[in-house]
Amino acid sequence: MDELLLIPGPTPVPLPVREAGSRPMTNHRSEAFARVLRTVLEGVRELYRTRQPVIPYASSGTGVLEAAVVNTLSPGDRVLALSCGAFGNRFSRIARAYGAEVTHVEVEWGTGVPLELLEEHLKKADYRAVLVTHNETSTGVQNDLSALAGARADRPALLLVDAVSSLGAVPLDMDGWGLDVVVTASQKALGCPPGVSFLAASQGAWEAYRTARMPRYYWDMGMVQDALRQPLTQTPFTPAVSVFYSLEVSLELIRQEGYEAVCQRHRLLSEAVRAGVRALGLRPVADERWASWTVTAVWLPEGVSAEALVGRVRERYGVVLAGGQGKLAGRVFRIGHLGYVWPQDVLRCMEALGAVLRELGVAVDPQAGVEAARRVFDSRAAQAV
Ligand SMILES: *Cc1c(COP(=O)(O)O)cnc(C)c1O
C-alpha cells in the first residue's frame, strides 16, 4: 500500500522532484551549480513577491527563524511576540534566548491575532520588532498577515514573519504588504525534502542588520549575500546540493500549474477537509474565520486517543496524519494538506478516518466525510464550468 503522507511537513515529494534529488553530486562552486542556485533563488523570489534577494541556508525552518532574529536585533531590544501556538512560542523563545526583551502575547489557541491586539500593544510601547507566524501549524490558524502589516505600517517596528507553512500555498506579498523579514523552508508547501531554508529582508531590515549586535556567524545574511554576488554565484558554506536540484524541479511544477492556481487548490483542499471532518461529527480547532489553507487541527472525539486514531489510520489505510503539539498533544490530530496534495488524497483520508472512527466505536456514518468532501470538490468544479 502506498503511504499517503498528510502531516504538515515534510510533505509528499512527487517523483520528478525526488528523481532530481538523486542526481550525482557536483562541485557546489561550479558554473553548473551556480545556475541551479540562481534559478532556485529567482523562483523563490517570485513566490515572495519581493525585489530583495532571497538568502538560502542549509537548515530546517527553526534555523532560519533564528537567522531572522540575529540578523536584525540587538540584545535588550524590545520585541513584541504575537503567538497563536507552538511555533509562535518557538519564535518568541529564540528572541529571548538571544537577549531581546520580549513581550510575549499569546492568544487562545485556535484563534489568530486580532488587529486590535497588535494596535493596542504598539500604542503602549516602542518595539524594535514584531514577531508573527503567518500560519500556525500547531492549531491550523492562518493570520490575516496583510491586515497585521497594515496595522503596523506607520510604526518603526520591523515585522518578522514565519511563513514556513504558508509560503508556496497561501498568497503573500512581501513588498506590497511591507513585510521586513520573511522565512520559509523546503519541506512544506514547496514539496521538497527538508534541508534548505530561505530568508528575505526588506531595505529596512538590511539597515537594521548593519547595526544589529546579536551574536551571529553561520546565520550572517550579509556573508551569504556577498557569496551570492560573486561572479560565480555561490553560498559561503556547503549548500544542501540535492535539495536544490529538487527545488529547481518543484518550482518549475509550481510555475506550470500557475501560482494562483496552486494557492486556490490549497484553499479548496482546506474547505473540503473541514467539510469532511465536520460531517464525521468532529470539530476543527481553528475558528472558521482563522481556518488555515494548509493544515487542519481537529479535536479528538470523546474516548478516542490520538495514538489509536493516527495509528490505525496509518496501519490499515496507509494515511499518515500528525498528532498534536505542545498543550494540544493528546487532544487533537492534524491533517496536513500542503504541497503536492490533491482532491483524491483528501477523499482517501476521509475514507480512512470514517472507517477508523467507526472501528473505534464512534457512532458515525463512515462515508459521511468522503461524501461531504466530494460535494465541496464537485461544487467547485461546477462553478468553474
Ligand atoms: C515546520 C515549521 C517550522 C520549522 O520547523 P522545522 O522542524 O525546524 O523545520 C517553523 N514554523 C512553522 C509555522 C512551521 O510549520
What pLDDT sits at residue 361? Answer: 95
Compute the distance between CA of residue 260 and CA of residue 270 in angstroms, rounded to an integer.
16
What pLDDT sits at residue 17? Answer: 98
pLDDT per position as a tens digit, 286-297: 999 999 999 999
What are 202's three cell numbers? 526588506
H helix or E strand, kind and range, residue 333: strand 332-336
Instruction: Count the helices and strands in the chain (H runs, E runs).
Output: 14, 14
Task: State mean pLDDT over 336-346.
Answer: 98
82 close to 111: Cβ distance less than 8 angstroms: no
- Residue 165 C-alpha to ligand 1 middle, in angstroms? 7
pLDDT at 385 over 90: no
- Residue 9 C-alpha to ligand 1 middle, in angstroms? 8
What pLDDT sits at residue 89? Answer: 98
- Residue 60 C-alpha to ligand 1 middle, in angstroms? 7
- Percentages helix, strand, coil for the chain (3-state, rounded to 5) are 45, 15, 40
- Residue 59 C-alpha to ligand 1 middle, in angstroms? 11
205 close to 174: Cβ distance less than 8 angstroms: no
Rg (CA), the chain: 21
Task: State mean pLDDT over 233-259.
Answer: 98
133 CB under 6 A from ligand 1? yes
Looking up cell 532560519 gives 64
What are 229's three cell numbers? 554576488
pLDDT per position as a tens digit, 197-239: 999 999 999 999 999 999 999 999 999 999 999 999 999 999 9
Tell me the CA distances in angstroms from 358 to 16, 118, 317, 335, 367, one per residue in order.
37, 44, 14, 19, 10
Nearest CA-CA partner of 313 in 365, 352, 281: 352
- Residue 87 C-alpha to ligand 1 middle, in angstroms? 7
Q: Would you call 303 exposed, middle or buried from its count of C-beta atoms within 10 A (0-12, 13-18, 19+)?
A: exposed
pLDDT at 70 over 90: yes
H helix or E strand, kind and range, residue 47: helix 31-48
- Test site for ligand 1: of 164, 188, 243, most ligand atoms within 8 A of the Cβ: 164
Provide the whole-model pTM: 0.98
pLDDT per position as a tens digit, 93-143: 999 999 999 999 999 999 999 999 999 999 999 999 999 999 999 999 999
User: Which ligand 1 atom is nearest residue 8's CA?
Assistant: 15
User: Which ligand 1 atom is nearest residue 135's CA?
Assistant: 13
292 CB under 6 A from ligand 1? no
Residues in the chain: 385
Dihedral angle over CA of 147, 84, 155, 66, nearest 10: -120
- Residue 239 C-alpha to ligand 1 middle, in angstroms? 19
What pLDDT sits at residue 39? Answer: 98
- Test site for ligand 1: of 139, 165, 328, 335, most ligand atoms within 8 A of the Cβ: 165
Show Cβ contacts of residue 294 under 8 Å, excluding neighbours closer than 6 positions. Answer: 8, 135, 137, 142, 165, 166, 169, 170, 188, 189, 266, 270, 336, 337, 338
